[in-house]
Amino acid sequence: MRVKVKLLGWMRQFLADHIEHFDERDFDLPEDATAADLVAALGFGDTSFMLMRNGDKLPDELFATTTLHAGDSLVFVPPLKGG
Protein backbone atom coordinates (compact mmCIF):
# COMPACT_ATOMS: atom_id res chain seq x y z
CA MET A 1 0.00 0.00 0.00
CA ARG A 2 1.25 3.49 -0.79
CA VAL A 3 0.68 6.58 1.39
CA LYS A 4 1.83 10.17 0.95
CA VAL A 5 3.94 11.65 3.75
CA LYS A 6 4.67 15.35 4.15
CA LEU A 7 7.05 16.84 6.73
CA LEU A 8 6.55 20.43 7.88
CA GLY A 9 9.08 22.68 9.58
CA TRP A 10 12.09 20.96 11.07
CA MET A 11 10.59 17.43 11.23
CA ARG A 12 13.06 16.17 8.59
CA GLN A 13 15.98 16.67 10.99
CA PHE A 14 14.53 13.90 13.21
CA LEU A 15 14.31 11.29 10.42
CA ALA A 16 15.99 7.95 11.01
CA ASP A 17 19.54 7.83 9.66
CA HIS A 18 18.64 5.40 6.86
CA ILE A 19 16.02 7.76 5.36
CA GLU A 20 17.10 10.54 3.02
CA HIS A 21 15.72 13.97 3.95
CA PHE A 22 12.54 14.92 2.11
CA ASP A 23 9.67 17.38 2.30
CA GLU A 24 7.02 15.18 0.67
CA ARG A 25 7.14 11.67 -0.76
CA ASP A 26 5.23 8.44 -1.16
CA PHE A 27 5.96 5.46 1.09
CA ASP A 28 5.13 1.82 0.48
CA LEU A 29 3.88 0.10 3.63
CA PRO A 30 2.46 -3.34 4.44
CA GLU A 31 -1.32 -3.59 4.07
CA ASP A 32 -1.92 -3.74 7.83
CA ALA A 33 0.45 -0.90 8.80
CA THR A 34 -0.67 1.46 11.54
CA ALA A 35 0.18 5.10 12.15
CA ALA A 36 2.50 3.88 14.94
CA ASP A 37 4.35 1.68 12.43
CA LEU A 38 4.95 4.67 10.17
CA VAL A 39 6.08 6.86 13.09
CA ALA A 40 8.59 4.18 14.13
CA ALA A 41 9.82 3.62 10.57
CA LEU A 42 10.52 7.33 10.18
CA GLY A 43 12.33 7.49 13.53
CA PHE A 44 9.92 9.91 15.21
CA GLY A 45 9.30 7.80 18.34
CA ASP A 46 10.92 10.25 20.79
CA THR A 47 9.95 13.43 18.92
CA SER A 48 7.06 15.78 19.76
CA PHE A 49 4.76 16.37 16.79
CA MET A 50 1.17 16.45 15.62
CA LEU A 51 0.05 13.98 12.96
CA MET A 52 -2.65 14.89 10.46
CA ARG A 53 -4.31 12.09 8.49
CA ASN A 54 -6.33 13.15 5.47
CA GLY A 55 -6.73 16.64 6.93
CA ASP A 56 -7.80 15.56 10.44
CA LYS A 57 -5.65 15.53 13.58
CA LEU A 58 -4.90 11.99 14.72
CA PRO A 59 -4.54 11.86 18.52
CA ASP A 60 -1.33 10.23 19.79
CA GLU A 61 -3.27 7.61 21.73
CA LEU A 62 -4.80 6.31 18.48
CA PHE A 63 -1.53 5.79 16.56
CA ALA A 64 -1.26 2.10 17.51
CA THR A 65 -4.86 1.28 16.59
CA THR A 66 -5.25 3.37 13.43
CA THR A 67 -4.68 1.25 10.35
CA LEU A 68 -3.52 3.25 7.36
CA HIS A 69 -5.07 2.84 3.90
CA ALA A 70 -3.75 3.19 0.37
CA GLY A 71 -3.90 6.83 -0.68
CA ASP A 72 -3.86 8.25 2.85
CA SER A 73 -2.14 11.62 3.17
CA LEU A 74 -0.14 12.05 6.40
CA VAL A 75 1.37 15.35 7.51
CA PHE A 76 3.84 15.55 10.40
CA VAL A 77 3.73 18.97 12.09
CA PRO A 78 6.38 20.01 14.64
CA PRO A 79 5.38 21.84 17.82
CA LEU A 80 5.21 25.60 17.50
CA LYS A 81 8.11 27.59 18.91
CA GLY A 82 8.57 31.25 19.46
CA GLY A 83 7.39 33.88 21.77
Residue 7 inside a domain? The answer is yes
Q: What is the pLDDT of residue 83?
A: 56
Whole domain around residue 67: which residue ranges?
2-77
| Tally of domains in the chain | 1
Residue 83 inside a domain? The answer is no
Q: What digits encode the pLDDT tens for the residues 73-83?
A: 999 999 876 65
pLDDT band at 47 (very low <50, low <70, confident <90, very high): confident
At a CB cut-off of 8 Å and minimum separation 6, what does 29 contact? 1, 2, 3, 37, 38, 41, 68
Average pLDDT of the chain, as a whole number? 93
CATH number at residue 68: 3.10.20.30
Q: What digits encode the pLDDT tens for the residues 21-44?
A: 999 999 999 999 999 999 999 999
Residue 58 inside a domain? The answer is yes
Please list the residues that pair with 3 across neighbouring strands: 27
Residue 82 inside a domain? The answer is no
Residue 43 inside a domain? The answer is yes
Q: Does residue 46 surpass a pLDDT of 60?
A: yes
